Amino acid sequence: MSKENEIAAFLEEMIFGGKLGPGMKVPSSYELAERFGTAKETANKALAGLVSRGVLERTHGRGGTRVVSPQPFRGIIGFKLVLLSAGPFCSRIMRGAARAAASRNYGLWYFEFELPEEEHWKKIARSGVKGVLHASSALPGEDFPLPALQILRSEAENRVTSDEIAGGRMAAELFLRNGHRNVAVLHDFPDDTAGTRIEGFAGAMKEAGLEPRIIRVPPHGEMNPGAVCEELRLLRREVTGLFCYSDAVALQMLIYLQSRGIRVPEDLSICGYGNMRDMPHIFPLTTVEQFPENLGFFACNKLIDIIEGKTELPVRFTVPVELINPRATMGPVPPPAKEDPRGLRGPAGPRS
């Protein structure tokens, strides 16, 4: 993150966290520059950005720059999302969206996913919101009267998505650099793999002349790691790496493998996806960071731009991803082990 963005995020946290109230003076550009170890011009740019978004206002004379006094909401943004059942990732998307809405003086109204979806979209259309963000749901009908922007998935006309294909390629290239040729993909997402991290991973492996085996597993809350290991055994080849569709799948496999005496990454390498925030407290994990707060923040800003007529349609924005902790659960292919009829590496294979 640049120094300009760091300063802006710091001030937003102070303002939206209640430490700097309406009408209060914010630190000067000199004070901010000294605090963040940067030039006064950089601090000025951060302040100017918040002024242009209506969060701060400059006053004449010695008044300095102050927090804008409350004004009525310009409108309410709807957010249709599976949050209560989807865990922290979706809540982080919503947090980013809430910050963007607040910075532009919009409210955010959360709509938990409901079935049937057609009726739910009608309910949202009648709610009085100005536009809708949505994730992990069907698209609204063609007659939906409000601007709508999808997060995560790429089939909508207007969308903000994570760079899934690039993330999958990053993971595959890491396996390849470490000498892995037999990698299985554990896929717990119910839809097609087109446009996803699985497509990116498989594409990079195929370019290297390899064909990864995709193993579909139940959603992570219902997955049986022992059954996955049995599926790997049936491959009748020595699997040296696992690419997991999510960190949740990777965590279950890590715990199971540890209980069976199989070391990660010494005997088997694993890469997750998503960078679950609580993961490092359990096991450090090689994974791909999707920056969900960024997804929510950019998506909400783009939707407000649509509502206010400040952008041309369609809106298609991709948030870059980053591979992190490349050596945590990823290592080079170990020397050939004695043949294990159960298909997993390890000094003695899994114990029954």
Predicted TM-score (pTM) of the model is: 0.75
Domain 3-67 has CATH 1.10.10.10: yes
Mean pLDDT of the chain: 86
280 pLDDT exceeds 80? no
Of the candidate ranges 141-155, 173-187, 224-238, the one whose mean pLDDT is the lowest: 224-238
Quote the tokens at residue 39.
């030039």
The pLDDT assigned to 105 comes to 87
Fold that domain 75-162+291-320 belongs to in CATH: Rossmann fold (3.40.50)
Quote the tokens at residue 326.
């490349």
Going by pLDDT thresholds of 50, 70 and 90, the confidence category of residue 190 is low
Residues 134-149 have pLDDT tens digits of: 987 788 988 999 999 9
Q: Return the domain boundaries, the chain.
A: 3-67, 75-162+291-320, 164-289
The pLDDT assigned to 191 comes to 62
Going by pLDDT thresholds of 50, 70 and 90, the confidence category of residue 222 is confident
Distance (Å, rounded) from C-alpha 175 to C-alpha 178?
5
Distance (Å, rounded) from C-alpha 14 to C-alpha 10?
6
Of the candidate ranges 189-203, 264-278, 282-296, the one whose mean pLDDT is the lowest: 189-203
Cβ(81)–Cβ(112) under 8 Å?
yes
Judge if 3-67 and 75-162+291-320 fold alike in CATH terms: no
Average pLDDT on 186-208 reads: 85
Residues 76-124 have pLDDT tens digits of: 999 998 765 556 788 889 999 999 998 888 999 999 888 788 899 999 9
Considering only residues 217 and 173, tell me which one the structure prediction assigns the higher pLDDT: 173
- The DSSP call for residue 326 is T
Residues 33-52 have pLDDT tens digits of: 999 999 999 999 998 888 88
Contacts of 119 (CB under 8 A, 6+ apart): none
The phi, psi pair for 75, rounded to 5°, reads 170, 175
Q: Is 77 helix (H, G, I), strand (E, B) or coil?
A: strand
341 pLDDT exceeds 70? no
CATH class of the domain defined by 164-289? alpha beta
